[in-house]
Amino acid sequence: MSAGLDGKVAFVTGVSSGIGAAAAHALAAAGARVFGFDLTSPAVTCDAVRACGGDMAGYRGDVSVEDDVIGAVGTCLDSFGTLDIAVNCAGTANECPSLEETVEDFDRVVAVNLRGTFLVGRESIRQMLSHGKGGRIVNIASDLGYLGRAGYGSYCASKGAVLSLTRSWAREFAPRVLVNCVAPGPIDTPMLGPDFMSPEVRASETAIPLARIGSVEEVAAAIVFLSGPGATFMTGQTIGPNGGSVMP
Ligand code: NAP
C-alpha cells in the first residue's frame, strides 16, 4: 500500500527500537525508501521492513557525533541517490533528581536529543537545498517539553529546545523545507521500561484524559502525515499523539 511517498527517501534515526522502528515501517509502507541510523545495528529493522516488501538500508552510528552523521548522510546518498525526508527519533533520558545529576549525564542527554537533532537536520537540509527539491524535517520532541517533570530536567529541557529549534528552522528554511515536530505522550517503548523509568513514574503515566499508554503506530501515523502530501501547508507545527496530556 502506498500513501503518497513513492520516490521519496526518508532518513530516520533511532530505527532499531520503539517509535523509530515503527516510523521506518510506516514510511516504507507509504512508499518511501528508508535509510535507518541507530547506535544499535539497524539490521533487524531493515530485514523486517524488507520482509514486508519495503526498501531499507541501515547505518550504525551516534547521532551526537558529527562525523557519524556526515558519514551516514553520505552513505544514504550513495545508496539511494537523494534524501527528501529526515525524521529525528533517536533519543535518550536520564531519570535523576536535578541536584544529583552529573554534568556528564546532563550533557549526554542534551547531546543525543538536541545536538543529534541539530546535526541530522543540518546535514539533511544541506542536501534538500542542494538538490533543489526541498524536503521535510520531522523532529520528535515530547509532551514533557511543554509540561516539565520532576527528575527529568535534562530530558525536558532538551525536548523543549527541540520544539524551539523546529520553529526556528521552519522560519529559516521556508518555503523549500517544511520543518515540523511530533510531541508524543507516554508510548509503549523501552523508554517507559526499567532502564529509563522508575515503577512509580511509570504508574503515573496513564493519568491523562485517554487513560492509557499509546502505541508506536499511533506516533508513526503522525510522522507519515507530516512527511506526506497532506501536510504541504504546515511548517513550524507540533502534532501531539499524547492521549490529551497536553492541549496547547
Ligand atoms: P527507544 O525505544 O529507546 O528508541 C530510541 C532509539 O534511539 C534506540 O534504538 C536507541 O539505541 C537509539 N539511540 C539512542 N541514543 C542514540 C544515539 N546517540 N545515536 C543513535 N541512536 C541512538 O525509545 P522511543 O520511545 O522509541 O524514543 C524515540 C523518541 O521518542 C525519543 O526521542 C524519545 O525521547 C521520544 N519520546 C518517547 C516517548 C515514550 O513514551 N516512549 C514519549 C515522548 C517522546 P540504543 O537502544 O542502542 O540506545
Q: Is residue 130 part of a domain?
A: yes
Q: Is residue 120 part of a domain?
A: yes
Contact 88, 140 (CB under 8 A): yes
- Per-residue pLDDT at 1: 45
Q: Is residue 173 part of a domain?
A: yes
Residue with CA nearest ligand 1 atom 48: 39
Is there a catalytic annotation at residue 146?
Answer: no
- Per-residue pLDDT at 248: 82
Residue with CA nearest ligand 1 atom 2: 18
Look up the CATH number of the domain holding residue 66: 3.40.50.720
Index of the ligand 1 atom closest to the CA of residue 155:
34
Count of domains forming the chain: 1
Return the best residue to mutate from 41, 89, 154, 242 for the ligand 1 pocket (most ligand atoms within 8 A of CB): 89
Q: Is residue 192 part of a domain?
A: no
Pocket lining: 181 vs ligand 1, CB cutoff 6 Å:
no
Return the best residue to mutate from 35, 189, 212, 219 for the ligand 1 pocket (most ligand atoms within 8 A of CB): 189
Q: Is residue 2 part of a domain?
A: no
Write the burial class of residue 198 (CB in 10 Å: 0-12 exposed, 13-18 middle, 19+ buried): exposed
Pocket lining: 64 vs ligand 1, CB cutoff 6 Å:
yes
Pocket lining: 38 vs ligand 1, CB cutoff 6 Å:
yes
Contact 36, 29 (CB under 8 A): no
Residue with CA nearest ligand 1 atom 17: 62
Nearest residue to 92 via CA among 166, 198, 189, 202: 189
Measure 91 CA to ligand 1 centroid, in angstroms.
Answer: 4
Measure 172 CA to ligand 1 centroid, in angstroms.
Answer: 27
Can you say whether the dihedral through the CA atoms of 223, 225, 228, 234 is positive or negative? negative
- Rounded Cα–Cα distance for residues 31 and 78 (Å): 19
- Per-residue pLDDT at 100: 98
Cell of 82: 537523494
Tell me which residue range forms the domain holding 45.
Answer: 9-185+215-239
Q: Is residue 38 part of a domain?
A: yes
Q: Are strands 85-88 and 177-182 parallel, antiparallel or unpaired?
A: unpaired
Pocket lining: 245 vs ligand 1, CB cutoff 6 Å:
no
Rounded to two decimals, the pTM is 0.98
Q: Is residue 194 part of a domain?
A: no
Q: Is residue 141 part of a domain?
A: yes
Index of the ligand 1 atom closest to the CA of residue 143:
43
Give me the residues of the chain with pLDDT under 70, please.
Answer: 1-3
- Per-residue pLDDT at 3: 64
